[in-house]
Structure 1
């Protein structure tokens, strides 16, 4: 269950998300690059195990303004039932319950992702929230493989005020 609070005067809102179990493959390198093959592998595994209906999330562990791009870690994830077992290639982790500031956007070009992340970070700071040490993530509501248009939620972890 989640609780959503729309903040006055803007499109940013807060949401408390429940704990999620995630199957994932980690990619190290510049954000947004070299995701295709690992995503194919993750979705193939999910299909083979009847788990293809999970939500797709990308977890970002590092601040690209503080960490060299080559060292930035992204976990490409699908939500799975608790108790799911991974493999040597597919890890299992838990995204803990917590509060996030978020915006939901239709993204038409990959260059828009960093713009939206910077905009959200600025809104979080201006609203007086303190960041939490949980990873930021994108939640994909839909993605068109042909046009690459995505309906994406951008989630920034924050501490309760």
Structure 2
């Protein structure tokens, strides 16, 4: 079953926007409560939908039942933690992602990923290498497609001022040697308005910023605010058509969003922050270096907060060279 297309012209725009905001609240709530039993009635209340109809509405909107979605997110979260938290036991990860026992977790994990949790953890480096190879192949297959060109940027709706956003490339090249200066700093929490894209990463993200987010920012006087890009899922774990990406912009406390935008708070605290400056298509390489090379040798580990890219909508992209400048931010705590 394919997800309902929110751009269907047969649905009134205001109704589509309201549905999107309500469903995003539910998806966020599920992610924040993967370790607990999810109650259908409570989720219907989060969305402010009829308890009687909510399950059907969710399945029609998301293209999968509520139970299938929650099970998939628990297993994807567990796979991520198995790769990135070597200090946690398999049982601890099972319990933290809502499974009642190690045996139930192992059975479900093998059905989803074709191997045991321990085998997945042992092959974590190989999984990352396979993801890089697949991303390079996707990038190679896009040569000649205008949407794969780093110069295809997300432009401000006013156009005349020349401001731009970047395409969010998913290419992950062989990481090679990098010389990124990583700082450990405390960032304040920030209130953001976000719009969510569900589908494959890559050129579609640039199109999303360009066609949906930038015009909305311009119309609401937000074109000079700081922006944040959050890719919630790992394409090697989550099916491409289910990957979630939030395009965020910092907003004042009193700001109330319109359209399909929702409000969230990016948590503050300690982050590893690295400057990125290069072709947009190579940003995956930089993320890979940070998580595969820098993080294991830093004495730090990721915590539960989201990673994000932070950039200025005004100056992120050099129009002449196509070079993107932003900061890669990883939430960290001591091992």
- TM-score tier, shorter chain, comes to 0.7 to 0.9
Which residue of structure 2 lines up, in the alignment, with residue 5 of structure 1? none
Q: Distance in 1 between matches of 2:267 and 2:215?
A: 26
Moved more, 9-18 or 150-159: 9-18
1:157 aligns with 2:327: no
Q: Distance in 2 between matches of 1:44 and 1:66?
A: 32
Q: Distance in 2 between matches of 1:11 and 1:46?
A: 31
1:114 aligns with 2:284: yes
Q: Quick one: which of 228, 232, 237 aligns to 1:66?
A: 237
Q: Distance in 2 between matches of 1:25 and 1:147?
A: 28
Shift in CA distance, 114/36, structure 1 to aligned 2, threshold 3 Å = closer
Q: TM-score if structure 1 supplies the norm length?
A: 0.82
After TM superposition, list the pairs within 5 Å mapping 1:3-14 onto structure 2. Answer: 11-14=181-184
Moved more, 28-37 or 73-82: 28-37
> What is the deviation of 1:155?
0.8
Contact 1:25-1:38 at 8 Å conserved across structures: no
Q: Distance in 2 between matches of 1:129 and 1:45?
A: 38
Which residue of structure 2 lines up, in the alignment, with residue 81 of structure 1? 252
> What is the deviation of 1:48?
1.8
Q: Distance in 2 between matches of 1:103 and 1:43?
A: 25
Q: TM-score if structure 2 supplies the norm length?
A: 0.42
Shift in CA distance, 78/143, structure 1 to aligned 2, threshold 3 Å = same
Which residue of structure 1 lines up, in the alignment, with residue 267 of structure 2? 96
Shift in CA distance, 97/109, structure 1 to aligned 2, threshold 3 Å = closer
Contact 1:84-1:92 at 8 Å conserved across structures: no
Deviations 1:70-109 (A, max 9, x none): 2221101111112311124112211011211121021224
Deviations 1:15-69 (A, max 9, x none): 2110111111111223233123432322222222222211121012123343223
| Structure 2 residue matching 1:148: 3-state secondary structure | coil
| Structure 1 residue matching 2:203: 3-state secondary structure | coil
Greater radius of gyration (CA): 2
Superposed CA RMSD in Å reads 2.1
Contact 1:15-1:102 at 8 Å conserved across structures: yes
Which residue of structure 2 lines up, in the alignment, with residue 56 of structure 1? 227
> What is the deviation of 1:134?
1.2
More helix by share: 2
Which residue of structure 2 lines up, in the alignment, with residue 23 of structure 1? 193
Q: Which ranges of structure 2 fall in alignment gaps of 5 or more residues?
A: 1-178
Where relative contact order (Cα < 8 A, 6+ residues apart) is larger, the structure is 1
